[in-house]
Amino acid sequence: MVAAVRVHKTGGPEVLTYEDVSVPAPGQGQIKVKNHASGVNFIDTYFRMGMYPSPVGLPFVSGNEGAGEVIAVGPGVTDLKAGDRVAYVATLGAYAAERLLPADRAVKLPDKIGYEQAAAMMLKGMTAQYLLRRTFKVEKGNNVLIHAAAGGVGLIACQWANHLGANVIGTVGSKEKAELAKKNGAHHVILYRDEDFVAKVKEITGGKLCDVVYDGVGKATFPASLDCIRPLGMFVSFGSASGQVEAFNINILQTKGSLFATRPTLNHYAAKREDLVRTANDLFDVVASGAVKIPVNQKYPLKDAQKAHRDLEGRNTTGSSILVP
């Protein structure tokens, strides 16, 4: 038996139950991983509250990201062996001391990247990668707006967009977060709880507006985010930290400037093994180069998963949070 955090019925942070579970031997194509750290992500709260249905039903082990050591491999696994250092993004099962995982969802960790750093960056960093390099390919001189700039995805995306030569504008919920976002690549920071962020974007860009808006906040920033985008620019709605964007009339994209809008998820961008490996390697490279640093700003024992969720949903975290068994 190993320690894990399970959800037996969906709900608030109190449904995260720290208990022992048994992990069988790996089956065909699976590996067993001894987790050294698990990442905490907003998506974990969506599964916990039932906004995203669990693909394995109830109960389920929470968590979608982790890093650790392979301790057993199942039949048919040829490219990994016991002792390999790996990291992964995989739906559910990461808040546990040990877990099974399809081998083709794991990537080998470069020596320079530690387990805790890896658990803090796989989901958030690969998301930043596809958002900035594929959904809208950020280029030098682009005006880029990143909401929740001091968050997990936010701090990585700000650094990376800055590295690509963009003019990075970030929104944040407090002065402390503003300082942090500025230290991590944001050229301009807007306190969107106090300031009109559309007016500020107009002022900062001299009326040109943004080539792209990356919006993981959702309900609270929609539709104002559209007013920050230049004609033919791109609205990327990639999350719902404040609630989901409600149904809207698609004609709004025409009236706001023939805008493009997309609602992407890493699941699709990394569905093929070659895309997963390419995305992870691009992230490893940018981290190894020093251009993007991974701030592990909250570290909790696995048994304190409830607190980790309360802090994340209460807007009391910055950068990445991890759980350690």
Ligand X SMILES: NC(=O)c1ccc[n+]([C@@H]2O[C@H](COP(=O)([O-])OP(=O)(O)OC[C@H]3O[C@@H](n4cnc5c(N)ncnc54)[C@H](OP(=O)(O)O)[C@@H]3O)[C@@H](O)[C@H]2O)c1
The pattern of x and - marking residues 295 through 314 that bind ligand X according to CB under 6 A reads -----------------xx-
Pick one of 153, 169, 180, 189: the residue that binds ligand X (CB under 6 A).
153
Neighbour count for residue 115 (Cβ, 10 Å): 21
> Alpha-carbon distance 129 to 136, whole Å?
10
| Exposure class string for 74-96: b at 16+ Cβ within 10 A, else e | beebeebeeebbbbbbbbbbbbb
Q: Which of 177, 188, 256, 309 binds ligand X (CB under 6 A)?
A: 177
Written as one letter, the residue type at 27 is G
- Please name the residues in contact with 186: beta carbons below 8 A apart, sequence gap of 6 or more: 146, 149, 158, 162, 168, 169, 170
Closest C-alpha to 282, from 131, 145, 80: 131
Residue 160 as a binder of ligand X (CB under 6 A): the answer is no
Tell me: cis bond preceding 59? Omega within 30 of 0 counts: yes
Q: How far is the CB of 250 from ligand X (least distance, A)?
A: 20
Provide, rounded to whole angstroms, the least separation between the CB of residue 314 and ligand X: 7
Q: Report, in Å, the least distance between residue 291 CB and ligand X.
A: 19
Q: Which residue in the set 63, 68, 93, 173 belongs to the binding site for ligand X (CB under 6 A)?
A: 173
Binding segment toward ligand X, per CB under 6 A, in 19-27, 50-58, 112-120, 216-224: 216-224
Report, in Å, the least distance between residue 209 CB and ligand X.
21
The reply to whether 95 sits near ligand X by the rule CB under 6 A is no
DSSP state of 245: P
CB of 179 to ligand X, least distance (A): 12
Please, are residues 88 and 67 in contact by the beta-carbon 8 Å criterion?
A: yes
Residues in contact with ligand X by the rule CB under 6 A = 41-43, 123-124, 127, 148, 150-154, 172-173, 177, 216-217, 220, 238-242, 264-266, 312-313, 315, 317
